[in-house]
Structure 1
Amino acid sequence: MSRLLVLFISICWSFSVVAGQAAVAMPDSYSAKAAAKVLEEGGNAVDASITAGFVLAVTLPEAGNLGGGGFMLFYQNNKTDFLDYREKAPQKAHRDMYLDDKGEVQTEKPLYGILASGVPGSVMGLWQAHQKYGSLPWERLVQPAIELAENGFIPHKKLQAYVQEYLDEIEAAPHGRNFAKYFAALTGGQRFKQPELAATLTRIAKQGPKDFYEGETADKLVSFMQHHGGLISKEDLKQYQAQWRTPLQKSWRSYEVVSAPPPSSGGLVLLQMLAMLSDKIDCLEDVAHNSTRYVHLLAELAKPAFADRAEYMGDPDFYPVPVQKLLDDAYLAERAKLINPIKISETEAIKPGLQESENTTHYSVVDKWGNAVATTTTLNLSFGSGMVVEGAGFLLNDEMDDFSAKPGVPNYFGAVGKDANAIAPGKRMLSSMTPTLLIKNGQVQMVTGSPGGTTIISSVYQSILNRVLFNMDAQSLVDAPRVHHQLLPKNTIRHHPKLDKTVQDGLVKMGYTLDARRFGDLQVIVRDADGALAAASESSGRGLSMVVETK
């Protein structure tokens, strides 16, 4: 697509708002219908997002959660905001807690069982979002989740299969996980009830986060930890607070791209790749979408950004992440010179430039006033640590794997890190979650996000390119095959299996190693040329998206 055509598309887009329209893009039908009902009743985007968060803790157990954490990105009353309710390392955690006597990483410990969990942040995050921006009563927003836990829901066939795969994995390597006790019945396809979780949600509805962090639920969680030799204490829970932060924002092609700040690496890497793409715009002349040249360019753009990720990114409350330097136009112009549009650049030559899940879930909401919320939440791997808090019925995260257990040693997703992301008591682990908004002329034009560990960044990045450079409609842009490269493993491109075979052959001839696996589950809302909203969930998932007509 030529630059002239891109400019024409940009000029022709309308920025009006169709009166009474709202939209949701959700990872399952239960959350979509519950969130839509809130919007129909006059709730705002934050209200709908809170309801969705609690419903997903019931109906999407592989990633929806009470025992995990996440990020919320807001456009509310013409202002942007960001809430970090990422988990924290317990006070008893320490830098070398996953190393053996020889100093080698015991890879299973930060992934499975009782030592894998950080202090959960989801309940506090949803509460603090409600306190600042919510409009409907808290109990009303939690009630749909209570009903689904108490009365049960019919599990989607994909969820049944997913649980069965996990049960098979546990049988082969238990690691102390009690998952089967709580979820084995789900595979039968009958109405699945969770009475302990329903009771926990009822307490949260009445008492807010006080129950989860200081009350009966807190007691159950700490007792469970003590019984199994875990680290989370009453003091850890009592001290937990979500953190309001300033979202990252950078102009790109007449849009304001707003995304997640540290402790997410996602926003920084995304904005760096967009900026470097602008410096390499001549490389895109007459390059077809998902052609061999296009995929190669995406891989080249990722290398410098992921090198910076490994060196400089972590919890800003513990490490001075050089955000402004990493987003400086002159710096990014220099980084763009490392990109070779014709052949593979040498991985070893891509160094940090300064002188100094996979199963997450995402959902998007726009309300009738034009407010928007992009939420990404996670337990880290599917079903987190595989540990259910007995008597409370919710799964715990395995987010401790997102720390760098040892400098230069990759985590489950192949990401490496150094001191910026070393384990420390009370520290939040680095994330790749990338909830993102595109804003133009004061109106949200796109809400996007995805699960997928480090591949989240690639999914969000390509969803934006699909919309802005290639003018795809909502469903086409979420379903288009995507690719991912993250510097290491060397010259390896992960791609959706439906990527054209001739393109795959061309990449192999260039010297790439290919890894054909699906990743991500985009949940996107866009505003079309007539001002109307359109929403889409990736067809390969079990999501549901809808435009809601409100009064």
Structure 2
Amino acid sequence: MSLAMLRAPRALSGAALRAVLHTDKHAESHAGAHADSCPRASRVMARGTFARFATTLALTGALLASLVASPAVDAKTAQPKPVLDAAAVATPDRYAADAAQQMLAAGGNAVDAAVAIAFTLAVTYPDAGNIGGGGFMTLYMDGKPYFLDYREKAPQSATRDMYLDDKGNVIKGMSLVGHRAVAVPGTVDGMWEAQKRFGKLKWKQVLAPAIKYATDGFPVEPWLQKRRELASQGFGGKTNFDAYFSNLKTGVVFRQPELAQTLTRIASDGGREFYEGQTADLIARQMYGHGLLTKADLLQYKAVWRQPVTASWNGYQIVTAPPPSSGGIGLIQLLKMKADLKPQFDGVALNSEPYIHLVAQIEDRVFADRQQYMGDPDSYRVPVDKLIDDAYLAKRVEDITPDEVPGAAPVKPGLGDAMPEKAQTTHFSVVDKWGNAVSNTYTLNGPFGSGVVVDGAGFVLNDEMDDFELKAGVANQFGVTSGDVNTIAPGRRPLSSMAPTILTRDGKVSLVIGTPGGSRIFTSIFQVMTNLYDFNMPPADALAAMRFHHQLLPQKTIYFEPYHPIDGELAEQLKTRGYTLQGQTFNGDVQMIRIDGMSPQPAADPRGVGVGRVIQ
């Protein structure tokens, strides 16, 4: 045994220790058997036996020392001890919660549960859950933060002006509907990477619930039929969407045999089957002659582990999404700038006219930075540290006053010249009993994506190409623009607002949160977190409270929602201030878990049909 091994012993399992002891006993017996017939051999073997005995003692001591030094490890099972009294999930539907519960009951961890949720939603929540889209996953595993980028990518044959006509104008709908709207999907490789690195269960096991729902079917609820009808109208018969989903009607047990076969192949052959196997061939065949995506694009796709964006706030550590998301940076900017304006906010009632006005001014500055500096970090060096720097943000809010007239002066990016997902994005949050957490947001972009279903494979492809800057100054479907750093280029990931977020304190998870909503994602998360921590609301109340949204363009516009509309005296006050009020159909579907001591408190947004569930 080397001196280095003695100085830095590695814990052995009980089985490994028994193997060492068995080997030494066998060697001792073997030496004794030869001693009488060969005295020299006896002396040599005796020295060898002593050396092995010393090694055994050292290894035994190392094992015991490691167990004593690791209070979070159960010496009897060599498994981590629970640090929470239960696990918890917050998911967009009950089927996904059931799938997660099965994984956790089988001894799986937060990642096993998350992967099972993602594949299940691809079946039971098909307007947003997907294997034909992409997304982001923020993780906190064994006390360390991680981030997985499985965002879609532009095909290699994509060009900057591919959606412009001969006059240089954007061709309406081309980036939203049909084959040319499709980017290279990332979801399957993302789930494969996460489960390989951190999962405890077998890959087949985590896909089993999704395969069962695809094979046996599930009863369609009215909300899903309504979403299907709206999507079908939008596609206008230009795709094969209705051939697969016209039977998505209330009360029907909806079965998806082709999708079941696809999921079974992925379960049997691994996640790369989607990119290299029969499924890849089916995608390439579907796209041939219509779109840009090829099998070569699929073969080249890889999810990327990145450093999450982290920042201190209010005694907590924020762990959130880095570029190509703008959402994580935007969330941190909102939280920090509001804290910098504490004197102006003191005594101001939540969601009153002066409160909304102050927040709107902060949001102007966040969206100005988003437009100028955010893009794919593989193509452009995003100044992340500068954008969340305390001194920079304090300077950004110096000219914000309660009396500022909306739109009186243009709000510009703060660092000088340059160097949205809808309801059809979805989010889920998971915490296991060991204190690990997953916050995952993924998307098809628009409702049911591009409307293109892969014949023979049974799943919808995304319309993520619309998230690029199609033409300078032209807004995407969420009303936001982005700069040259988000133009179309081969292999580039489009800018996103998704912001799966985890809050920690003293190295332990305190909050897991996220939402769909396009450019409203990080403003929705900001408002819920403010409700929780600045106004001390219980989780259910923090979710149910009114939300509003403002972004740089269109100027002086406050968006409100039907769930909690801005009306009456408040509406009149905002109009008097100079704002235009604009209704919208959706302002987030937040799924969150707050941890109080050892008890997780899951909560699902009342705006949706989600489920918050504690799992013993």
Name the aligned partner's letter for residue 92 of structure 1: S
Q: TM-score, normalised by structure 1?
A: 0.94
Distance 2:406 2:581 in 1: 17
> Given that residues 343 and 510 in structure 1 are in contact (C-alpha distance below 8 angstroms), is that contact kept between their aligned partners in structure 2?
no
> Given that residues 290 and 499 in structure 1 are in contact (C-alpha distance below 8 angstroms), is that contact kept between their aligned partners in structure 2?
no
Q: State which of 27, 34, 38 in structure 1 corresponds to 2:103.
A: 38
Which has the higher mean CA deviation after the structures are superposed, 335-344 or 384-393? 335-344
Tell me which residue corresponds to 1:308: 369
Higher relative contact order (CA 8 A, sep 6+): 1
Deviations 1:114-167 (A, max 9, x none): 100100000000000011111110000001000000110011221112112222
Tell me which residue corresponds to 2:506: 441
Which has the higher mean CA deviation after the structures are superposed, 66-75 or 179-188? 179-188
Tell me which residue corresponds to 1:547: 614
Distance 2:374 2:234 in 1: 33
**Does structure 1 residue 412 correspond to structure 2 residue 480?**
no
What is the CA-CA distance between 1:504 and the residue it aligns to? 2.1
Tell me which residue corresponds to 1:506: 573
Cα 1:347–1:411, aligned 2, differ >3 Å: closer, same or farther?
Answer: farther
Q: State which of 439, 447, 463 in structure 2 corresponds to 1:382.
A: 447
What is the CA-CA distance between 1:107 and the residue it aligns to? 2.9
Deviations 1:361-396 (A, max 9, x none): 000000001110000000001100011000000000
What is the CA-CA distance between 1:335 and the residue it aligns to? 0.8
Q: State which of 589, 592, 612 in structure 2 corresponds to 1:521.
A: 589
Q: State which of 164, 177, 200 in structure 2 corresponds to 1:135.
A: 200
Structure of larger gyration radius: 2
Distance 2:580 2:234 in 1: 28
**Does structure 1 residue 424 correspond to structure 2 residue 485?**
no
Tell me which residue corresponds to 2:326: 265
Name the aligned partner's letter for residue 221 of structure 1: I
Tell me which residue corresponds to 1:474: 539
> Given that residues 304 and 338 in structure 1 are in contact (C-alpha distance below 8 angstroms), is that contact kept between their aligned partners in structure 2?
no
What is the CA-CA distance between 1:346 and the residue it aligns to? 2.7
* Aligned pairs for 1:187-206 within 5 A: 187-206=249-268
What is the CA-CA distance between 1:18 and the residue it aligns to? 6.6
> Given that residues 222 and 250 in structure 2 are in contact (C-alpha distance below 8 angstroms), is that contact kept between their aligned partners in structure 1?
no
Distance 2:605 2:340 in 1: 31
Indicate the SS of the match to 1:448.
strand
Name the aligned partner's letter for residue 216 of structure 1: Q
Distance 2:330 2:399 in 1: 16
Tell me which residue corresponds to 2:242: 180
Which has the higher mean CA deviation after the structures are superposed, 75-84 or 434-443? 434-443
Q: Which runs of 5+ in 1 are unaligned?
A: 1-16
Deviations 1:527-548 (A, max 9, x none): 13x5321111111211111111
Tell me which residue corresponds to 2:519: 454
Distance 1:263 1:18 in 2: 34
> Given that residues 365 and 396 in structure 2 are in contact (C-alpha distance below 8 angstroms), is that contact kept between their aligned partners in structure 1?
yes
Cα 1:344–1:548, aligned 2, differ >3 Å: closer, same or farther?
Answer: farther
> Given that residues 339 and 345 in structure 1 are in contact (C-alpha distance below 8 angstroms), is that contact kept between their aligned partners in structure 2?
no
Indicate the SS of the match to 1:185.
coil
Tell me which residue corresponds to 2:395: 334
Indicate the SS of the match to 1:349.
coil
Name the aligned partner's letter for residue 148 of structure 1: Y
> Given that residues 124 and 218 in structure 2 are in contact (C-alpha distance below 8 angstroms), is that contact kept between their aligned partners in structure 1?
yes
**Does structure 1 residue 324 correspond to structure 2 residue 391?**
no
**Does structure 1 residue 162 correspond to structure 2 residue 227?**
yes
> Given that residues 164 and 187 in structure 1 are in contact (C-alpha distance below 8 angstroms), is that contact kept between their aligned partners in structure 2?
no
Distance 1:344 1:258 in 2: 35
Deviations 1:17-39 (A, max 9, x none): 87431100000110011112211
What is the CA-CA distance between 1:499 and the residue it aligns to? 3.8
**Does structure 1 residue 88 correspond to structure 2 residue 153?**
yes
Tell me which residue corresponds to 1:490: 555
Name the aligned partner's letter for residue 256 of structure 1: Q
**Does structure 1 residue 343 correspond to structure 2 residue 404?**
yes
Q: State which of 276, 283, 296 in structure 2 corresponds to 1:235.
A: 296
Deviations 1:280-320 (A, max 9, x none): 11111111111111111111110111001001100000011
Number of matched pairs: 528
Indicate the SS of the match to 2:288.
helix
Which has the higher mean CA deviation after the structures are superposed, 340-349 or 109-118? 340-349
Name the aligned partner's letter for residue 321 of structure 2: A
Distance 1:336 1:350 in 2: 11
Name the aligned partner's letter for residue 136 of structure 2: F
Tell me which residue corresponds to 1:11: none
**Does structure 1 residue 215 correspond to structure 2 residue 277?**
yes
Name the aligned partner's letter for residue 512 of structure 1: Y
**Does structure 1 residue 117 correspond to structure 2 residue 182?**
yes
> Given that residues 264 and 430 in structure 1 are in contact (C-alpha distance below 8 angstroms), is that contact kept between their aligned partners in structure 2?
yes
**Does structure 1 residue 533 correspond to structure 2 residue 594?**
no
Distance 1:411 1:188 in 2: 32
What is the CA-CA distance between 1:348 and the residue it aligns to? 4.8
What is the CA-CA distance between 1:239 and the residue it aligns to? 0.5
Cα 1:19–1:350, aligned 2, differ >3 Å: closer, same or farther?
Answer: closer
**Does structure 1 residue 29 correspond to structure 2 residue 97?**
no
What is the CA-CA distance between 1:347 and the residue it aligns to? 6.2
Tell me which residue corresponds to 2:358: 297
Q: Which runs of 5+ in 2 are unaligned?
A: 1-81
Distance 2:108 2:220 in 1: 27
What is the CA-CA distance between 1:109 and the residue it aligns to? 0.6
Tell me which residue corresponds to 1:72: 137
Indicate the SS of the match to 1:149.
helix
Q: CA RMSD in A?
A: 1.3
Indicate the SS of the match to 2:363.
helix
Name the aligned partner's letter for residue 180 of structure 1: D
Distance 1:231 1:500 in 2: 44
Cα 1:328–1:341, aligned 2, differ >3 Å: closer, same or farther?
Answer: same
Deviations 1:85-108 (A, max 9, x none): 000000000101011101111131
